[in-house]
Amino acid sequence: MSDNIVGERAGLTIAVNIAVVALVVLWLIPTVGLLVSSFRDRDQITATGWWQSPLPVELTFRARAPAADQVEENGVWVVEGNVFEDREQARWFPEATGTVTAFGSRGVAPAEFPPGEVAELRGGATLVVNTDGTFRYESPEEIEGAGPRLYFEARTPPQFTTANYNTVLLADNMDRAFINTLTVTIPATVIPILVAAFAAYALAWMDFPGRGLLIAGVVGLLVVPLQLALVPMLNFHNMIGVGQSFLGIWLAHTAFGLPLAIYLLRNYMVGLPRDIIESAKVDGATDFQIFTRIILPLSFPALAAFAIFQFLWTWNDLLVAKVFLPATAESQVMTVKIADDLLGSRGGDWGILAAAAFVSIAVPLVVFFSMQRYLVRGLLAGSVK
């Protein structure tokens, strides 16, 4: 019977390990995809997924049959050339060579005809584009203007670039946005910790009327969506004169972070050895001395765990920053700068979005990995005694 139990435990351990590895892989796949996309060209991102980034990509291009090059042959006006020599394609085909997989005469159908086929166009004109990019355009009438447009589909090699990161890092006022983000995040992390530490000590070790109701109120506030408080809090801030300012956003982040901070720290402090605190009181220590010399040093894991959560939340925040900070460029944080200036004018530019994501998470990653050893200890605070 004991052998079966040992075997079952070993099998359970293997199953748990497999499940953990599977979860890690599932979480890692989107991150890898985001990283790869941040180095890809915008046109290739829209054509294929990140997992196809090492493979050639078929993209559509446009060129022009220049009217200046037309010649008359037996009453027919002819323009010949090579689509890869068009100046618009120099970025993709620097050697003016490539492989055409389809062509067309309309932007709505750029791959309407296979290469080598003679396409009948309106007005009796014809167009043929060969695989090597050479084309021949014939018209029964003299070509006027700059010349007709022609479209083609060609196979392009995989292209990786740091242009997305250059766009993000070298954007106007991005350095100012980075400083503004630090200006918001650091006080919005420190202030809730200081206030919550005092409140948690009082709720954990001091007896006073209504303590149970306060604890229940803190737990209840954990489930209140912050979106419900945005407008009333902004109106209150405007009424007292701190609306649309750094002080206002510090107070807002403090209010939104206090319930979790108090709950987390109170649970941790309740689990501290009672004998230490009672011995300190017998020796004549005041509550403030007990708090500063005993409770705070012993509560560092919980303080670090909350600091990680609060820092990550405030650093990556967009909604609260949009509401409680002015809309001027001098007050923008990085999330607002990226959302309004970089992505707002480019729509679905996934390369810019991916690069901006990695730029914005650089500092939070440093904070997380430097303090992550305290995270589990702080989260498990109060679960066992």
Tokens of 330: 């001098």
In sequence order, which residues have a C-beta less than 8 Å from that of residue 300 and are 6 or more positions away?
A: 374
**Taking the mean position of all CA atoms in its chain, how far away is CA 355?**
8
Q: Residue 344: what pLDDT?
A: 58
Whole-angstrom distance, CA of residue 220 vs CA of residue 269: 20
Contact between 377 and 301 under an 8 Å Cβ cutoff? The reply is yes
d(CA 274, CA 88): 76
What's the pLDDT at 27? 87
* N-terminal to C-terminal alpha carbon distance within the chain: 33
**Positive or negative torsion for Cα 266, 270, 272, 277:** positive
- Residue 151's nearest CA partner among 88, 95, 94 is 88
pLDDT of residue 254: 93
Instruction: Write out the chain's pLDDT in tens, 385 residues.
Output: 445 554 556 678 888 889 989 998 998 898 888 889 889 888 888 888 889 889 888 899 999 888 888 898 888 999 999 999 888 887 788 888 888 999 998 888 899 999 999 999 888 899 999 999 999 999 998 888 888 889 999 988 888 888 888 888 888 888 899 999 999 999 999 999 999 999 999 998 888 888 889 989 988 888 888 888 888 898 999 999 888 899 999 999 999 999 989 998 898 888 888 888 888 888 888 888 888 888 888 888 888 888 888 998 999 999 999 999 988 888 899 988 888 877 755 556 778 888 888 888 888 888 878 777 766 665 555 444 4
**Per-residue pLDDT, 116:** 92
Residue 385's pLDDT is 44
Whether residue 335 contacts residue 318, with contact meaning beta carbons closer than 8 Å, is answered with yes
- Report pLDDT for 347: 52
